[in-house]
Structure 1
């Protein structure tokens, strides 16, 4: 019976009934290294109180997505397993005011990145396990009242091979050898402070470990031990000193900023394989994708991204872990806060000056995309169940929420915002709170009524559009349908004019503007920024990217922006301009061919690594999604030629060389000119296995396998070649590259083989996505007939897989715009015929349908 989707109503009932004191969890990983073992033993004792004054028949349930349940004992009473275990829930009848529950069973190892994920390294055969729970996968490892407001103290013990590293939220306080099982020991951890189930964590395996000590700048704060964990085969790539330096700077920054000491004792970080997220804020042991270790060397943009994520997770130690949302409707607040603080601390504490540039051009693009779906939602969302919560880890919750907070900071002032956060932490420490609680302290801090601001920005959905109108010299606001003109949206922002002088755009005027709420905010004078003459310059709206709004250019300005936008001196100005141009492409107002020509023109001039990477990514989307195969032939060839011509001009070992090479290999999957570049890299790597660099370019496994995928897509690499290369370099990057390359081969039988593997084989999360990525490469004729099968399998996929794995399949295999079937019609028909399908499934398919409609509309507009 499928009953694993906890509703908000059920959670409220349990919150009213229960107060949880403590979990004692014993987990036995003695045989975890044996891949034939599907499950591991667990024993969990929970002590909790129940409000039984209103009834003598108080009853509730605890959740456990299990392999098997051996016994259930409640208050000394052994319950019949067949009577109380109902799917993923264990019914608990006859509750007393004080209760002790003990459940013994077996939990499943995961290959999906949910629960306790097990990874066996193809390079050296070592075993690695880690947990990932948010929002509700703790119940895959041990029985739990799985909702954020039922906080408790946790005491974990893990039995594992004695030479394994074992870690959790707290330190190990004792180790016990088992005389009956030589080579195995039980590690017992100190009890945690009160926390939610979803931020508890376990780590076990043959991890490489490095430790250090943070000594704070301010003697008001305690020293903090720090440890780093990664796979042994990745140890050489873990820049321990650089990462410890970031952690130390972050701890100093946030303890001072929040005026509250780091509350969780140690600060460990694990970089783990096949991770579904960027990172997770488990207090005392933060987990990250090992993609942040950079085996092929790193660009400034990649190091900035790593710093941003480390700071993001660190800010959660206060906002999210110390004070936690009561229910997932307020997920946005902790994630938006952390997104904002990640960029702020990366800039102020870690010295990455372009962190807000990345936010403006890349992260906010995610928000704009999400906000234009019919499935969008207000920042403060109505989350009805945990499936909806899982889907709301989206561009609204993260990027739009952070953009709105950035606007809120501009509206009330940074110091007042920080003072409110300090009050919030001290007032609600180790408890839970709602957005109204944060709004209360913010109003206390700034002395303003923010309820109307909240309604305008947080309780409505959609994107505002701001347009500079030279006649009659005003800034016009167009509201989304969800916002009435009587409410409006207030903005604090800056506009600036730039005049074209000698082929360069130079600033001539700037004006700070406060757009009021209500009808008067529909048109705001811009007297300090005079109009520019046709073809002689541009006006940049939202110049400092303080607010959240779509902007665009008129016809004359657009021509100037396309030809000369890359000459703007400030990276943030180029980011805002680039964001506006990309939004115009996606709205159908700018020909994608003109956009790629704009990127092509700026390739040699762009010095910002993050902007170069993002504009190349957008250009690839413009070419491969928003142009049909016929229409893209010429511009793709021209763009590939431009990239090929830039590569030899790059300084060796530079960010530019690395970024252009990575994107060249993506383009090489579709263009024969860059196929030669891919072949050159592969040939050099195979002839010089001890030489890690080609003309200064680091030849990591990841890069070389990207080149092999390009060759496979053109039929220049056989299946035998792929297997031979995999055998000679058995790494995780090789395994993923081989899966992608097999599926990329230009033969219908290879596409069908990949299709069957995705649906029928027990692939891990990353192997599934790699296979789906390769499957999508190549002419649509290779995939004939499979689109119909896709729609026929949707319900079965949702039933048989976790939501995470099902989403990878649904998104990875949705028929692309080049397919020989009408994906729009197929999705529309399916949705019309399956009105009773799970909401989460319908949302995924609805968003893919709207992507397909957008691509079709853009193609028809410009071809």
Structure 2
């Protein structure tokens, strides 16, 4: 390679980095503010060549020439430009070469002596990754075709082109990409021209894309490869759906397009600002690290949403939520963007809230708020009770701090707070404020204050106090009912008691709540022969609750019902404490008799939080599941409750009793699988529960029979997905091994099959298998992030505690090294998933080891935060185990 004329040669040819392990610079808020105060970025022109010398797909690097036009309000000043490059061909500012001989990715490129109007040119070789960040490269094992896609959130755009990589330096973008001729190329703009690139040895093309509106670097996108394409059109918007060609037969185009159209209709009607980015593509991509990404006009989503085997309706509903969530980002985040990551919730909380209200009001998923209460809020409650709890709008000093804040607080608690705000001010007033917010700040950047200004104006309420208590403080409040009865069994007094989150939050705050209180009673005598009693709502009041005690005069004189349900209809965000009479009702058939699905979900949630808080023994929670889960009509609730019970048996149960509890749950799962309607979602959900918990005897015999064909359930098809689940279960219990894994792998040569095989091999119950899995999960940077994740899933099988025992001390000894070895996003996944919370690690020694690492201030703050979270869960488990052990004494 010859350097460009006038460019210094030192370091240009020799510089080499590992794309999968190099971290992005840890941009601080202070540096970002200073750079934003100096610059206005006008445009990026990005020219990419994704081919090798023969015109085929390049393998390790690609070439990118970026031309940036920007202005500086202080001529003569200096700034820095972000890029992670393998080597440079040209770097210039206003026609003058820039010295990059001392370049380090963490420092970027210094641009000195800025003019008022500037043009920077950076021509460099950049690197593909296999870790799901930057420009990810994947080879399909089915046909050896190469697929590329970008993932830039939080600040990874610098892995594909040189840029000022922060959300408030918006600009327009124009891309030009050279690639193999048979590839589809997608970006934020529509294709404007395609020309022959003129490679001598093979057919290539150069695609030119339309210039985008002003937007942030992290939502720019490129997708490239021989993707299958489906198209449609709605309300003036060209729609595209894409997936790998080998998955095309499974792409559910009709339903996905239907949800997309329903989403656009709801958002256009309620947001009052038309979609601003032209066409709208959605691409299912391999080895994606998260659910989806809201790239403007070019959404990427995990290809697990293409269902190659049968799944329950829960997965279809979740896919619809994801589609609507990413679409909501076209307004919340893309049209109007947070200035800095302190207000990440302005993106994620709003998109989450908008997805669920649109789903409930515009699609067939009319019970979406039940799902929200069941899944999203449970996630938020757990996160909000960890030592690392933080406000929804929190203090983010640098990029590493935000990387660990894509969590249940930023998403689900924030969305819950918005749901509470809607109940407080009224939906019409709230949406009017949102419309004003979009109008005032389109294509700009905002803070919390900007949103509050709009909502104050349209709601007629001053919301700074609400925002301070709900958005700027941490922790979850607990609400309980306190009442007295007269001689006729009627309420003579009734109050809502609010407790502050003293143990888990430094803020110790009491909040205002808009609250429904439902009274539920049996319609018939519970002992009335064969007639199944029904528990129905007989009275409801909606009140404002504030402070430690709120008297509810509206309920005086009402007869005490069988169930008092605070937070009826789930208007607020809180933990519930059921009174003794209501809990007795639920434990003795009331939960199964309760007719309303959302009310049942709230009761399930209250019981689960009582288990986690040591207020309800795991064995009594198992009794509740046995009495009611079999009759639960909402399959998503069934799956969530089963998952929670499995966690309780592993972590919260007395270890001496846990095997018996597990066996009882396995028997329940087998019985319910056999009793469920043939071919129903409930049948499949209970089969999955059986495979998760099967331990011995008839349970494993049944699973083995399903695999061999000797056992059958009417309506149940043992497809490739179910075969993998069965093999994983049998392998973990020593009833299958390498031969069975290889047999299924031979029938499933896909990338998903390779991941399933990796999980299964990591579950082999031997010290050798665990040692191999640990090495793959924590040391092998050449593996894709998706395969390493699959290995981690198999490594920490919940019922192999004794095999995992040696890795408790090893985890803490190697945690800092693991953190340094991988990028922040990949390291986070390893640290969280491998934290020793298996049964044998729930002891005081684990707490001491965690305390020592957390106390080591030489370690990165993000790592110490994640360790503190794991430590908090182990401490909680120890308390719950004590309660369970004493439950029947």
Tell me which interval the TM-score lies in, with the shorter structure as reference length.
over 0.9
Retained in 2: the 8 A contact 1:316–1:338? Answer: yes
Partner of 1:325: 338
- 1:438-449 equivalence runs, <5 A: 438-449=451-462
- Establish whether residue 524 from structure 1 lines up as the match of residue 551 from structure 2: yes
1:671–1:171 CA distance, 2 compared to 1 (3 A)? farther
- Establish whether residue 808 from structure 1 lines up as the match of residue 829 from structure 2: yes
1:743–1:758 CA distance, 2 compared to 1 (3 A)? same
1:177–1:228 CA distance, 2 compared to 1 (3 A)? same
Could you tell me how far 1:729 is from its partner in structure 2?
Answer: 2.0
Retained in 1: the 8 A contact 2:853–2:864? Answer: no
Deviations 1:700-730 (A, max 9, x none): 3222111111111122222243234323321
The 3-state SS of whatever aligns with 1:470 is strand
The 3-state SS of whatever aligns with 2:344 is helix
Could you tell me how far 1:648 is from its partner in structure 2?
Answer: 1.9
CA distance in 1, matches of 2:831, 2:536: 47
Retained in 2: the 8 A contact 1:3–1:89? Answer: no
1:406–1:508 CA distance, 2 compared to 1 (3 A)? closer
TM-score, L = length of structure 2: 0.91
CA distance in 2, matches of 1:35, 1:26: 16
Retained in 2: the 8 A contact 1:296–1:699? Answer: no
Partner of 1:200: 220
Retained in 1: the 8 A contact 2:521–2:538? Answer: no
Retained in 2: the 8 A contact 1:585–1:591? Answer: yes
Alignment RMSD: 2.2
Could you tell me how far 1:805 is from its partner in structure 2?
Answer: 1.0
The 3-state SS of whatever aligns with 1:334 is helix
Could you tell me how far 1:774 is from its partner in structure 2?
Answer: 1.1
Could you tell me how far 1:509 is from its partner in structure 2?
Answer: 3.9
Retained in 2: the 8 A contact 1:596–1:622? Answer: no
Structure 1: state its 5+ residue gaps.
217-222
- Establish whether residue 69 from structure 1 lines up as the match of residue 98 from structure 2: no
CA distance in 2, matches of 1:798, 1:35: 32
Partner of 1:362: 375
Partner of 1:276: 289
CA distance in 1, matches of 2:497, 2:656: 39
Partner of 1:586: 612
Partner of 1:612: 638
Deviations 1:210-231 (A, max 9, x none): 11111x3xxxxxx111110111
- 1:561-572 equivalence runs, <5 A: 561-563=586-588, 564-572=590-598
- Establish whether residue 712 from structure 1 lines up as the match of residue 731 from structure 2: yes
Tell me which moved more, 583-592 or 726-735.
Answer: 726-735
Deviations 1:275-318 (A, max 9, x none): 11111111111111112222223433222221111111111111
The 3-state SS of whatever aligns with 2:110 is strand
Partner of 1:220: none
CA distance in 2, matches of 1:159, 1:508: 64
Partner of 2:34: 13
1:561–1:34 CA distance, 2 compared to 1 (3 A)? farther
Partner of 2:19: none
Deviations 1:818-848 (A, max 9, x none): 236732222112223x222111111111101
Tell me which moved more, 635-644 or 290-299.
Answer: 290-299
Retained in 2: the 8 A contact 1:752–1:783? Answer: no
- 1:669-684 equivalence runs, <5 A: 670-684=695-709
1:552–1:750 CA distance, 2 compared to 1 (3 A)? same
Could you tell me how far 1:732 is from its partner in structure 2?
Answer: 2.2
Partner of 1:788: 809
Matching residue within 57, 60, 74 for 1:52 = 74
Could you tell me how far 1:420 is from its partner in structure 2?
Answer: 0.6
Retained in 2: the 8 A contact 1:70–1:81? Answer: no
- 1:16-35 equivalence runs, <5 A: 16-31=37-52
CA distance in 2, matches of 1:147, 1:203: 22
Partner of 1:753: 772
1:90–1:695 CA distance, 2 compared to 1 (3 A)? farther
1:773–1:672 CA distance, 2 compared to 1 (3 A)? farther
Partner of 2:574: 549
Retained in 1: the 8 A contact 2:707–2:718? Answer: no
Retained in 2: the 8 A contact 1:644–1:674? Answer: yes
Retained in 2: the 8 A contact 1:339–1:402? Answer: yes
Partner of 1:573: 599
CA distance in 1, matches of 2:430, 2:673: 46
Could you tell me how far 1:52 is from its partner in structure 2?
Answer: 1.4
Retained in 2: the 8 A contact 1:153–1:195? Answer: yes
Retained in 1: the 8 A contact 2:40–2:71? Answer: yes
- 1:236-247 equivalence runs, <5 A: 236-247=249-260
Retained in 1: the 8 A contact 2:391–2:473? Answer: yes
CA distance in 2, matches of 1:463, 1:583: 12
Task: Answer 1 or 2: higher relative contact order, Cα 8 Å, separation at least 6.
Answer: 2
Partner of 2:207: 187
1:592–1:335 CA distance, 2 compared to 1 (3 A)? same
Matching residue within 558, 570, 583 for 1:558 = 583
The 3-state SS of whatever aligns with 1:19 is strand
TM-score, L = length of structure 1: 0.94
Structure 2: state its 5+ residue gaps.
1-21, 485-492, 527-532
Could you tell me how far 1:672 is from its partner in structure 2?
Answer: 4.6
Matching residue within 414, 432, 441 for 1:419 = 432
Could you tell me how far 1:79 is from its partner in structure 2?
Answer: 1.5
Partner of 1:730: 749
CA distance in 1, matches of 2:777, 2:680: 38
Q: What is the aligned length?
A: 840
Tell me which moved more, 780-789 or 453-462.
Answer: 780-789
Could you tell me how far 1:31 is from its partner in structure 2?
Answer: 4.3
Partner of 2:180: 161
1:675–1:561 CA distance, 2 compared to 1 (3 A)? same
- Establish whether residue 390 from structure 1 lines up as the match of residue 403 from structure 2: yes
The 3-state SS of whatever aligns with 1:125 is coil
Could you tell me how far 1:380 is from its partner in structure 2?
Answer: 1.0
Deviations 1:561-617 (A, max 9, x none): 123212111101001111111111110100111112211222321111221111111
The 3-state SS of whatever aligns with 1:819 is helix
Partner of 1:515: 544
The 3-state SS of whatever aligns with 1:543 is coil
CA distance in 1, matches of 2:259, 2:744: 37
Retained in 2: the 8 A contact 1:817–1:852? Answer: no
1:180–1:128 CA distance, 2 compared to 1 (3 A)? closer
Partner of 1:219: none
Tell me which moved more, 470-479 or 42-51.
Answer: 470-479
Partner of 1:434: 447
CA distance in 1, matches of 2:40, 2:297: 24
Matching residue within 332, 338, 341 for 2:351 = 338
The 3-state SS of whatever aligns with 2:121 is strand
Deviations 1:45-88 (A, max 9, x none): 111111115xx3x1111111233333311111112221455635
CA distance in 2, matches of 1:88, 1:701: 48
CA distance in 1, matches of 2:723, 2:507: 54
CA distance in 1, matches of 2:511, 2:805: 48
CA distance in 1, matches of 2:359, 2:824: 33
Tell me which moved more, 12-21 or 602-611.
Answer: 602-611
CA distance in 2, matches of 1:85, 1:540: 59
Could you tell me how far 1:697 is from its partner in structure 2?
Answer: 2.3
Deviations 1:29-58 (A, max 9, x none): 2149989932222111111111115xx3x1
Partner of 2:140: 121
